[in-house]
Amino acid sequence: MIDIRLVRQDVAAVRAALARRGVDPAELDALAAEDEEARQLVAHRDELRAQVNALSKQVGEARRAGDAERAEELAGLSRRLGDELRAVDGPAEAAAGRVRERLLWLPNLPSDDAPDGAGPQDNPVVRRWPDAPRTYADHQRVPHWDVGAALGILDLERGARLSGSMFPAFRGMGSRLLRALTALALDRHADAFEEVRPPTLVRTETMMSTGHLPKFADEAYAVERDGLWAIPTAEVPLTSMYRGEIIEEERLPLRLTAASACFRREAGAAGRDTRGLLRVHEFDKVELFAYATTDQAPAVHADMVGRVEALVQALGLEYRVLDLCTGDLGNSSARTFDIEVYAPGCDMWLEVSSISWFRDYQARRADVRYRPAGGGSPRFVDTLNGSGLAWARIWAALVEVGRQPDGTVELPEVLAPYLGGTRTIG
C-alpha cells in the first residue's frame, strides 16, 4: 500500500498520480478526511493513556509517602480517565482500521516513466525480436490444441473430466516438455538467483502482502476450511519470505527464483480466448523475485527484463516488449514490461511474462525492511518480480512454431539436453 504520509504531506500530488490510473479523486479526499479523524482519535487516546500511566505512578508515590487521601484522590481520577480511555479506544481502532482498509484497496502510484493510457490498446511496443516480422508456413498455422491432440501430448478432454474446463492435462513428451522448460529456466537463473520451493497454499496475510487480497479475492482459489489460498503465482510466497524482518543492506539486492504451479479462476474470462492453453486455471511457471533498495531497483528491473528476453530468444520465439500504460498496470505495480510471443497457429500475441517494479507498496503490507549500511532507521525494501517464464503459452507457441510439414514438432536445440538428446515430438 502507499505511504499514508504522502497523502498527509501532499494529497493533491497523490490525487494527480492516481488519476493517471483512473482512480476517482473523491477516493483520496475520503481517505484524507478519514485519516484526519483517525489521527485525532488516536492522539486523544494516546494522551489519555499517558495521563493514566502518569497517575498510576503518582498513586504509588503517594502511598509510599503515606498520603492515603492523596492516593485515593489520584486513583479516582485515574479510574475516570480509564473509563474515558476505554470509551475512545474502540472508535480510535475502528477509525484507524477504516484508513488501512482504504489503503489496501488503493492501487500503487505509477512511475513517472510509465506511459499514460486507458487500457491495453495504449501500451507502446518498445522493441521486438527479430527486428523484421517472420513469415510462417501453412503447416505452422495449426492451433496447438489440434497439434497436441494429434500427437497425444495435450489431453484437454481428460483434463476437463478430472477437474473441469481450463484444467489441461499434458501427456508423454508434452509433459516432459514442461519439465524441460522449467529445468532450463532454473539453470539459466542460477547464477544470481537462489532457488526456493515455496508452499503452494498460503495464509490470507501472505496473499494480502502482494495486493492479491482483498481486491482480487474472486480470482483466487480459497481452501476455506483451513484459511488457506492456492497461490496464483510464486510471487505471493516469495514476497513474504522475510515478512516482519529487517534485512542488512549488504545482502541487497536479494534475488530468489521458484518453480511452482499457479492457480487462477480467470473469473472474467468467460468466452474470451479460452481454447486450448490460452487461458487456464492451473499452469506451471518459474518466477523471478528480488528485494532491493530504491537505488538498486532500476538495474534489477532491467536485468530481469534482459534475462526473460534472452530466454525467449534461446527458445527461438518471435516476441515483443510492451511498456504497460497507467490504465493497464497491475494494481500493485509502479512500472511493468510485458513480453508477448507470437503463436502462428492461433495468430495471436500471447503474454508470457510481466516484469514489474512495485516500489515499497508490497513491502509495507508485508513489513519487510532493510537496515541502511550507513546507519539510520530501517527502511522498507522495494520488491520486483517477473515470470521467467510462464509455460502454458510458451508450450503452445513452441508446438505451433515447431510444427513440421509431416505433423511432427521440432523443438529448439537449447532443450535437447533436458529431453534426453531428442528434439522431435511425433
Average pLDDT, the chain: 96
Overall average pLDDT of the 213-234 stretch: 96
Overall average pLDDT of the 286-295 stretch: 98
- Residue 167: the pLDDT is 97
Overall average pLDDT of the 66-81 stretch: 90
Q: CATH 1.10.287.40 residue ranges in the chain?
A: 4-105
Please say if the pLDDT value at position 44 is more than 80.
yes
Pairing label, strands 194-196, 254-263: parallel
Please say if the pLDDT value at position 79 is more than 70.
yes
- Taking the C-alpha atoms of residue 35 and residue 235, their distance in angstroms, rounded to an integer, is 31
Residue 97's pLDDT band (boundaries 50, 70, 90)? very high
Please say if the pLDDT value at position 136 is more than 70.
yes
- Taking the C-alpha atoms of residue 407 and residue 425, their distance in angstroms, rounded to an integer, is 9
**Cell digits for 194?**
537462489
- In which element (H, E) is residue 335 found? strand 335-343
Please say if the pLDDT value at position 180 is more than 90.
yes
The answer to whether the CB of 349 falls within 8 A of the CB of 342 is yes
- Report angle CA 315, 198, 322 to the nearest 5 degrees: 40
Overall average pLDDT of the 117-123 stretch: 97
Please tell me which residue, 274 or 401, carries the higher pLDDT value. Answer: 401
The answer to whether the CB of 39 falls within 8 A of the CB of 33 is no
CATH T-level topology, domain 4-105? Helix Hairpins (1.10.287)
Please tell me which residue, 343 or 64, carries the higher pLDDT value. Answer: 343
Instruction: Give strand pairing partners of 319.
Output: 129, 341
- Taking the C-alpha atoms of residue 293 and residue 291, their distance in angstroms, rounded to an integer, is 7
Please tell me which residue, 73 or 368, carries the higher pLDDT value. Answer: 368
Please say if the pLDDT value at position 272 is more than 90.
no
Q: Determine the number of helices (DSSP H) and then strands (DSSP E) in the chain.
A: 12, 16
289: left (phi over 0), alpha (psi -120 to 50) or beta: beta
- Residue 68: the pLDDT is 87
Please say if the pLDDT value at position 267 is more than 80.
no
* All residues at 6 or more sequence positions from 317 whose CB lies less than 8 Å from its CB, including other chains: 341, 342, 394, 397, 398, 401
- Taking the C-alpha atoms of residue 156 and residue 64, their distance in angstroms, rounded to an integer, is 82
* All residues at 6 or more sequence positions from 103 whose CB lies less than 8 Å from its CB, including other chains: 1, 2, 4, 31
- Residue 274: the pLDDT is 82
- Taking the C-alpha atoms of residue 155 and residue 160, their distance in angstroms, rounded to an integer, is 9
pLDDT, one tens digit per residue, over 392-406 is 999 999 999 999 999
| Helices marked H in 20-132 | 25-64, 68-105
Cα 282 to the center of its chain, rounded Å: 17
The answer to whether the CB of 315 falls within 8 A of the CB of 414 is yes
3-state secondary structure at position 288: strand
Q: Which of 131-135, 219-223, 265-269 has the lowest mean pLDDT?
A: 265-269
Neighbours of 204 (CB within 10 A): 14
Q: Which of 18-22, 74-78, 265-269 has the lowest mean pLDDT?
A: 265-269
Residue 270's pLDDT band (boundaries 50, 70, 90)? low
Overall average pLDDT of the 28-55 stretch: 94
**What's phi and psi for 129, nearest 5 deg?**
-140, 135
8-state DSSP, 334: S
Q: CATH 3.30.930.10 residue ranges in the chain?
A: 120-425
CATH number of 120-425, picked from 3.30.930.10, 1.10.10.60, 3.40.50.920, 3.50.50.60: 3.30.930.10
* Cα separation values, 158 from 154, 164, 165, 325, Å: 9, 9, 10, 39
- Taking the C-alpha atoms of residue 214 and residue 363, their distance in angstroms, rounded to an integer, is 16
Instruction: Give strand pairing partners of 321.
Output: 127, 339
Overall average pLDDT of the 217-234 stretch: 96
**Cell digits for 74?**
489520584
**What's phi and psi for 78, nearest 5 deg?**
-60, -40
- Residue 373: the pLDDT is 96
**What's phi and psi for 309, nearest 5 deg?**
-60, -45
Using CB atoms within 10 Å of the CB of residue 410, give its burial: 0 to 12 exposed, 13 to 18 middle, 19+ buried: middle
CB half-sphere exposure, 390, CA atoms < 13 A: 28
- Taking the C-alpha atoms of residue 70 and residue 63, their distance in angstroms, rounded to an integer, is 8
